[in-house]
Copies of this chain bind each other. A is one copy, B any other.
């Protein structure tokens, strides 16, 4: 570590300058969280300007820069003011805080270049930091450290304890939490109040090393705590637990309830600034330099082709597992995270071949999603797999991932009533809806092994949040290895010059639609069959053409109707006058065989035939 030396007066001056900037920027904005920012000023000032945080600001992407995540994202005024004191944000820019168009947003997002990951929904930063620390320790093998500033209120979030558990399991001594125990939450006191040892007991029980800071506003004590954390040679992650005062530095704000999320008015601001004299402001503090270590890198190797024959019965979840295993050599940055179900999702195929690039994340889906964000921000391409149903557990993290602009792939297995006997708790029936709500997301749902493999390849080529929905049971291979699949594409599997309706299906219902088509053909009714494997984005043109030519679209999905394939198609062909009907899971889901359940829900071949006959009959009638 390259130390920076700074005298105590300058340090005090920097802290005061940061406080002034916090107050001025929030008053200017008319909103924001000055008091939650003021409590952590010394914790961050010591980190940045006493040589602990090693960061080359001219090269924010330097692989060995230390990383800092504000898990308490509402302390964004401190975050920006800190970077301003480090010379990275101008005073003028700081005063655009929360204005429309400014990257200096209300809570940090990736629109501000130095944001490591978007925060603001509490209890997410530690998981993200864990992902970065996993990368440093196990993948890039670099000596950078990851710091996470945590609020005490957010320790009530279970996701924190998922991250705590996994961090100690993986012995991430490069992960340093800084817990700002300012006692006050939004509407009152936290469960622990100012009892540092209550936090300490829990955190130590989860396998972390803790360092108490009795006065989180004493720069010397904070400095010493960092030094102690770095000096430890234990393999445990470290948590600094600091007694702080909410609103510190302004007499009428200190430790007072009722000031959460409230800026000062102009008069109050002047009164506050008078307590925080500026001398020779602005000054700039220096950050220590990162080490020059370079990440370990493997060269890409060619991937092998796959070998499925038409008619082979292969579950798409197996094809997913095969695909990431097959693509592993070609994509050295591809990593896999699984929530203790890798034998079911088939992520284990990859895990067995690339144990160093597989992370068992246990039954803790929120942390798994957060860790994937952290890994992605460090250049890895994580596949996050669990049962589709259980990815709902991480909706908030998935939602937030979008504001970090990350490249994360989610894979949900065991979708739909087609899982059968295990019953509704295990059935992913709302996953398409969930992932469709993520802006710019990709939602893919292959019906056979070949399309599943090709769609995993397409996901690798795509930067962003994408979702692959896989099926538990085996389905016959429909496609040869020359068939092309693309994000936004579809395949017209059956078509004639006098189709009377179009069946729009995906995944398991493609096979039901094909069976229905055969039955109907025997009755002299021609229908078109579309495999809409890309549900978002989707191939509007082909759907519109089908709507125009056949006048009836029938969507069939093993998913609830709301937000699913049917509604996606309706939105896509809005301008059409075709009649659209949607077969979906509308009755209560329960245990049974996959066939019984699809029949019961009207999404089997029989149900489709019945629906087509009723439409076509209607039209003829």
Enumerate chain B residues within 8 angstroms of A420, measured Cβ to Cβ. 31
B162 touches A158 (CB 8 A): yes
B591 touches A106 (CB 8 A): yes
The stretch among A78-86, A234-242, A391-399, A487-495 that forms the contact with chain B is: A391-399
Cβ < 8 Å to B, chain A residues 347-369: 348, 360, 362-364, 366-367
| Contact of A614 with B by CB under 8 A | no
B433 touches A157 (CB 8 A): no
Q: How far is the CB of A499 from chain B (nearest CB, A)?
A: 20
B186 touches A343 (CB 8 A): yes
| Cα of A425 to Cα of B202 in the assembled complex, Å | 28
Cβ < 8 Å to B, chain A residues 79-104: 98-102
| Cα of A91 to Cα of B561 in the assembled complex, Å | 38
A591 touches B73 (CB 8 A): no
A191 touches B206 (CB 8 A): no
Q: How far is the CB of A178 from chain B (nearest CB, A)?
A: 18
Q: How far is the CB of A569 from chain B (nearest CB, A)?
A: 10
| Cα of A437 to Cα of B392 in the assembled complex, Å | 12
Per-residue CB contact flags for chain A residues 172-199 toward chain B (1 = under 8 Å, else 0) read: 0000000000000111101100000000
The stretch among A117-125, A139-147, A307-315 that forms the contact with chain B is: A117-125
| Cα of A190 to Cα of B343 in the assembled complex, Å | 15
* Closest B residue by C-beta to A344: B186
* Closest B residue by C-beta to A122: B363
* Closest B residue by C-beta to A162: B158
Apart from A439-B586, A561-B571, what are 20 other A-B pairs with CB-CB below 8 Å?
Answer: A30-B421, A98-B422, A100-B593, A105-B423, A105-B590, A106-B425, A111-B590, A121-B389, A156-B364, A157-B364, A158-B161, A158-B367, A186-B341, A202-B202, A392-B395, A393-B395, A395-B430, A433-B562, A562-B568, A574-B581
Chain A interface (Cβ < 8 Å from any Cβ of B): 29-32, 73, 98-102, 105-107, 109, 111, 118-123, 153-154, 156-162, 165, 169, 185-188, 190-191, 201-202, 204-206, 340-344, 348, 360, 362-364, 366-367, 389-390, 392-393, 395-396, 399-400, 403, 420-426, 429-430, 433-434, 436-439, 536, 560-563, 566-568, 570-571, 574-575, 577, 579-582, 586, 588, 590-593, 596-597, 600
Q: Write 11 A-B pairs (CB below 8 A) sorted by A numbering.
A: A32-B421, A98-B421, A156-B363, A187-B348, A201-B205, A205-B205, A392-B396, A433-B436, A434-B434, A562-B563, A575-B579
